[in-house]
């Protein structure tokens, strides 16, 4: 896996820390839990999109783009980080935000990530729930081309083979850390949405012939659909890396039992997980992604899914900026 062959902008704070969560492990009385702190990747409070955007913006710059377009849910972390990269690189940024929740309160529609999109100077347009937002975005890009601009479009979540390279590279970072610590890791767990994180990780692991089981906790789609999305993208990513065929369908495992009411709606277990990590570890999870991923991990530990002797690494994908959009879900005075 030669990542230097791909254009890249080096704006992330990498490598991210790998830390033991002693208090959480003790409270759950189960396996030893470690956290890969990809909430600390830098660029507008950090998160998993930083690693993807390093490669996506590498391509945008190489193609001489003058404006970058992307799309996401109203409280998209990906949109916020895309806006921050554009600001740093002196490019314009235009974001299409899709209303997936029909929430109308000010916190949701104006605070959190929406505030930060605007603070980074991005222009924003709002859409109702739409079947194919990437297609909507391409229409806007075509209009811009007709006006003489050179737009670069990034799909939702930055999840294409270029973006997923960031997480194949993260797999390399993780495995080298495990080796340096002489650490036998039994499971890697993280939240999975638009599929790029899991696809990149599995492509990277399999390209190195590392067979640590990877579990994605879903935040939107049902299990079959989520696994199929991840599998397709993982195969394409492995091919881009020069290792076609290393990913098998059975390498892709998602558990979609923790979605709750739907995308963008924290379940009771999400809120409990966020509070546990805040109170026990001083770590901020988010209500849409990492909080659901952590709720899944906690519940699986309680159900005895893992051995007490296991080492589990949870990849914290970030998202804390969205907490301020979900103030009401915590019911503090």
Ligand X SMILES: *Cc1c(COP(=O)(O)O)cnc(C)c1O
User: Shortest gap between Cβ of 54 and ligand X (angstroms)?
Assistant: 14
Six-digit token string for 182: 């002489």
Ranges within 256-295 binding ligand X (CB under 6 A): 286, 289-290
Of 76 and 144, CB closest to ligand X: 76
Return the residue of 70, 318, 323, 326 that touches ligand X, per CB under 6 A: 318
Return the residue of 70, 169, 192, 270 that touches ligand X, per CB under 6 A: 192
Of 144 and 205, CB closest to ligand X: 205
**85 is a contact residue toward ligand X (CB under 6 A):** no
CA distances from 118 to 34, 41, 77, 121, 148 (A): 35, 21, 13, 5, 24
User: Shortest gap between Cβ of 254 and ligand X (angstroms)?
Assistant: 10
Return the residue of 191, 241, 256, 274 that touches ligand X, per CB under 6 A: 191
User: Shortest gap between Cβ of 3 and ligand X (angstroms)?
Assistant: 18
The catalytic position among 25, 44, 76, 290 is: 76
Ranges within 95-114 binding ligand X (CB under 6 A): none
Of 18 and 219, CB closest to ligand X: 219
Of 219 and 243, CB closest to ligand X: 219
**195 is a contact residue toward ligand X (CB under 6 A):** yes
| 76 is known as an active-site residue | yes
User: Shortest gap between Cβ of 322 and ligand X (angstroms)?
Assistant: 8
Number of residues that bind ligand X (CB under 6 A): 20
Taking residues 31 to 70 in sequence order and writing x for each that binds ligand X by CB under 6 A, - otherwise, the string is ----------------xx----------------------
**157 is a contact residue toward ligand X (CB under 6 A):** yes
Catalytic positions are 76
- Binding-site ranges for ligand X (CB under 6 A): 47-48, 77-78, 157, 159, 191-198, 286, 289-290, 317-319
């Amino acid at each position: 896996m030669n990542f230097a062959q791909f254009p890249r902008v080096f704006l992330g704070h990498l490598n991210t820390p790998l830390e033991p969560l002693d208090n959480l492990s003790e409270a759950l009385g189960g396996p030893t839990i470690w956290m890969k702190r990809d909430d600390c990747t830098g660029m507008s409070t950090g998160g998993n999109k930083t690693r993807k955007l390093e490669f996506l913006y590498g391509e945008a710059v190489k193609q001489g783009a003058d404006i970058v377009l992307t799309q996401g849910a109203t409280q998209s972390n990906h949109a916020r980080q895309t806006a921050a990269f554009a600001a740093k690189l002196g490019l314009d940024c235009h974001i299409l935000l899709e209303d997936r929740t029909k929430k109308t309160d000010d916190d949701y529609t104006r605070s959190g990530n929406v505030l930060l999109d605007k603070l980074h100077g991005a222009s924003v347009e709002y859409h109702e729930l739409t079947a194919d937002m990437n297609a909507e975005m391409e229409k806007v890009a075509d209009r811009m081309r007709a006006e003489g601009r050179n737009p670069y479009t990034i799909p939702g979540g930055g999840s294409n083979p270029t973006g997923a390279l960031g997480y194949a590279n993260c797999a390399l970072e993780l495995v080298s850390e495990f080796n340096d610590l002489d650490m036998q890791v039994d499971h890697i767990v993280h939240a999975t949405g638009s599929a790029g994180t899991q696809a990149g990780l599995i492509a990277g692991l399999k390209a190195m012939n590392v067979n640590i089981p990877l579990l994605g906790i879903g935040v939107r789609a049902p299990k079959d659909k989520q696994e199929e999305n991840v599998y397709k993208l993982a195969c394409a990513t492995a091919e881009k890396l020069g290792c076609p065929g290393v990913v098998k369908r059975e390498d892709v495992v998602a558990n979609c039992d923790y979605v709750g009411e739907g995308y963008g709606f924290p379940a009771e277990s999400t809120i409990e997980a966020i509070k546990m990590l805040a109170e026990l570890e001083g770590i901020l999870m988010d209500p849409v992604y990492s909080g659901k991923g952590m709720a899944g991990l906690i519940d699986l530990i309680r159900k005895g899914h893992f051995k007490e002797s296991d080492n589990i690494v949870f990849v914290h994908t970030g998202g804390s900026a969205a907490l301020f959009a979900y103030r009401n879900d915590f019911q503090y005075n």
